[in-house]
Amino acid sequence: MKKLILASNNENKVKEIKEILSPLNVQVISLKEAGVNVEVEEDGKTFMENAYKKAKEIYDIINDESYMILADDSGLAVDALDGAPGVYSARFAGEHGNTEKNNEKLLTLMENINDRSAKFICNMVLIIDKENVIRVQGEVEGVIIKEERGENGFGYDPLFYIPEYNMTFAQMDSKTKNLISHRKKALINLEEAIRKYLQGE
């Protein structure tokens, strides 16, 4: 079985991607499981720049072509905020990963705004080997509601409402969210490439 190292220490993200890729004959392991204790600085100006930087740094550290490296960078883009928080989604309020503060800041900024349309964006880079680097994107559109709803998910999920489902991401079970999420859409674009590689085409 081919091994794929996911260049992330975000346990929620690792769990999501493992679930989504489970139908493929690929063993997905996290950085921690691979014994790599590295935090790549995400200083790119776009999601794609950050995803490539993470994948390339981990690929160079592993230095073993029997492993594929997958990195993603994803976040929330709110139309009325000119695409913010964007690449700063995880550290929107200043402290990396402080979900409570990030959501508070978003709600404050959106307080008197009528256009609440937003989208989650996921950019992924898969390094199969030095000659084969695949870049894909997935998006899911929604609305920023005025108060948090739901206990599941992470990050901005309690504020990100999908009208077709009449639920926020945080109100969905993981199976439902993983069917429609930005990560799922990006991974669908990767599946074909991984299948072809595994079949030796």
Q: Tell me how far apart the alpha carbons of residues 165 and 14 are, in angstroms, rounded to a whole number.
A: 25
Residues 119-130 as b/e (b if ≥16 CB within 10 A, e otherwise) read bbbbbbbbbbee
Active-site residue 73, yes or no?
yes
Contact, 51 vs 71, CB < 8 A? yes
Q: Tell me how far apart the alpha carbons of residues 156 and 99 are, in angstroms, rounded to a whole number.
A: 7
Q: Tell me how far apart the alpha carbons of residues 4 and 61 are, in angstroms, rounded to a whole number.
A: 14
Would you report the helix, strand and coil content of the chain in percent, each value rounded to 5? 40, 25, 35
Q: Which of these is catalytic: 43, 60, 72, 73?
A: 73
Beta-bridge mates of residue 160: 144
Asked if residue 85 has a cis previous peptide bond (ω within 30° of 0), the answer is yes
Catalytically active residues are: 73
